[in-house]
Amino acid sequence: PAAADPHRPRYHFLPPANWLNDPNGLIQWNGEYHMFYQYNPNGPFHSTIHWGHAVSTDLVHWRHLSIALTPEAGTADEDGCWSGVAVDDNGIPTLIYSGNRDGEQRACLATSTDGLVTWQKYGDNPIIPVPPPDLDLVQYRDHTVWREDDAWYQLMGAGLEGQGGTVLLYRSTDLRHWEYLHPLLVGDAHRYTPIWLGPMWECPDFYSLGGRQILTIAVWDHQPQYSAAMVGDYRDHRFIPEIEHKLDYGDRHFYAPQSFTDAQCRRIIFGWIHEGRGAEAQLAAGWSGVMSLPRVLSVGSNGPVCMQPVPELAALRAEHTHTAAIDMPSGQVVVLPDVSGDTLELIVELVPAREGLCGIMVRRSPDGSEHTQITYDAALRQLVVDRSHASLDSTTDHTMHVAPLILEPDEPLRLHIFLDRSVLEVFANDRISITSRIYPTRADSTCVALLAERGEAQLVGLDTWQLQMS
């Protein structure tokens, strides 16, 4: 059933069937990229989680390997091997992950001696048997681990009851014995601006980039909300954030991201793209969850964390179409006769009218009854992915995704869009992204159109590629 499903992505990574959530253990080893992920081999739903595993030499083509971690009865991970990371311990590949037992998560360790294929769990798991005793924690799990001076440091995600999300800092000399230091940072769940950081932080990630220190977290409030980035300084083992923003404005469609540094010194990030259709539809499809495209992280000129699709994705490009400049009259939808498909890369440059709105429609049916709109509103200074007509199936997610975007006076709107059937990844002006899911019901919902409102807009140019996995 999975292969016949018209919503199943063609070039995004996902397991052959069943459930995927968070990216885990991202590492480049002997030139190969390894991706582990939260995986339920027994159905398209979150249950007893294993670690799936795949390798790639180019971040685009992945080869599935056997399951890396399996929950083991009578041990600290008997109910699941939850999220974690991979580190190079002096030549020994080592995983630190959350063992799930009786609804509680504890740090566990595993190592490999055959090039990351099979993993031996440490005999004394869990390596951190209890959370710090004097803290009243909402939840407590997930790890990021790094080397600093002569020691290993680790952050665990958590939440302080009545206060907010936090990350707890630990230190170790051997990765197996950990000393708790203090919270690196405590968020305030009662503060709503610039963004709400919620009661609990999952999947922390902590690294320096462009001379700044970055903390990314997944904001959890009984369920996944969104990923947030904080940019600031790391001094005396404390983190002082200066800037906070959503990492991707598709909210739960870019959740629990993890990043790593590759041999080219690029910081590369993947996120879990949550479904936007109900559990029943996921069961019928036989699969659930998609990995985002790999993105390169950078710190923007005025401070925020930016993500761009990796250049290697050009390997997917097949047939190319160029659409030359045209004027887009106000109040009209201009259907492009030469451009259509459901697995596309689009690079489009548009100039909105002052205070006007302009954009592009994808997955549009010829009669317009289905379409997804990606528009920029110059008056509101917002980029919007409008899914209100994305599908005639009313059980699918139709909410709007809105991102703030302030264009400089002479700056055109530049959209870089990856469409992969039900997956939509939109990058705008090299500084914001919106990841989304759409489930058109009609086989002919493959048209692309331009639109302008409240004044004439200009198409500067559009390049389209059909994308294909070779």
Q: Which residues of the chain form contacts with ligand DQQ (CB under 6 A)?
A: 21-22, 38, 49, 82-83, 98, 141-142, 202-203, 218, 224, 255-256
Residue 257 exposure: Cα atoms within 13 Å on the Cβ side: 32
For residues 24 and 82, give the distance between their C-alpha atoms in angstroms, rounded to a whole number: 9
Nearer Cβ to ligand DQQ (200/297): 200
> Which member of 22, 248, 251, 377 is catalytic?
22
Nearer Cβ to ligand DQQ (140/234): 140
Question: Which residue type occupies 83?
Answer: S
Tokens of 350: 């548009």
| Shortest reach from residue 21's CB to ligand DQQ, in Å | 5
Nearer Cβ to ligand DQQ (161/233): 161
- Residues 6 or more apart in contact with residue 283 via CB below 8 angstroms: 43, 44, 45
Nearer Cβ to ligand DQQ (251/342): 251
Residue 455 neighbours by CB distance under 10 Å: 17
For residues 423 and 342, give the distance between their C-alpha atoms in angstroms, rounded to a whole number: 9
| Shortest reach from residue 102's CB to ligand DQQ, in Å | 15
The count of residues in the chain is 470
| Shortest reach from residue 270's CB to ligand DQQ, in Å | 13
| Shortest reach from residue 203's CB to ligand DQQ, in Å | 6
Q: What angle do CA 109, 114, 116 make, to 5 degrees?
A: 55
Nearer Cβ to ligand DQQ (267/274): 274
Q: State the maximum Cα–Cα separation within the chain, in Å, rounded to a whole number.
A: 69
For residues 24 and 11, give the distance between their C-alpha atoms in angstroms, rounded to a whole number: 20
| Shortest reach from residue 153's CB to ligand DQQ, in Å | 19
Q: What angle do CA 116, 121, 122 make, to 5 degrees?
A: 120
Nearer Cβ to ligand DQQ (256/374): 256
| Shortest reach from residue 470's CB to ligand DQQ, in Å | 32
Find, among 384, 387, 464, 397, the residue nearest to 428 by Cα.
384
Tell me if residue 221 is catalytic. no
Strands (E), 124-254: 137-148, 151-160, 164-172, 179-186, 200-209, 212-220, 224-235, 238-246
Nearer Cβ to ligand DQQ (282/445): 282
Sign of CA dihedral 315, 317, 322, 327: negative
Tokens of 444: 């002919």
The helix/strand/coil state of 377 is: strand
Find, among 112, 113, 111, the residue nearest to 122 by Cα.
111
- What is the distance of C-alpha 162 from the center of its chain? 28
Which ranges of 269-406 does DSSP label H, i.e. alpha helix?
Answer: 279-285
| Shortest reach from residue 321's CB to ligand DQQ, in Å | 38
Residue listed under structure tokens 């680790």: 154
Nearer Cβ to ligand DQQ (38/464): 38
| Shortest reach from residue 201's CB to ligand DQQ, in Å | 9
Find, among 124, 122, 161, the residue nearest to 140 by Cα.
161
| Shortest reach from residue 228's CB to ligand DQQ, in Å | 14
Nearer Cβ to ligand DQQ (202/453): 202
Sign of CA dihedral 162, 163, 166, 171: negative
Please give the radius of gyration of the chain, using alpha carbons only, rounded to the nearest integer: 22
Query: Active-site positions?
Result: 22
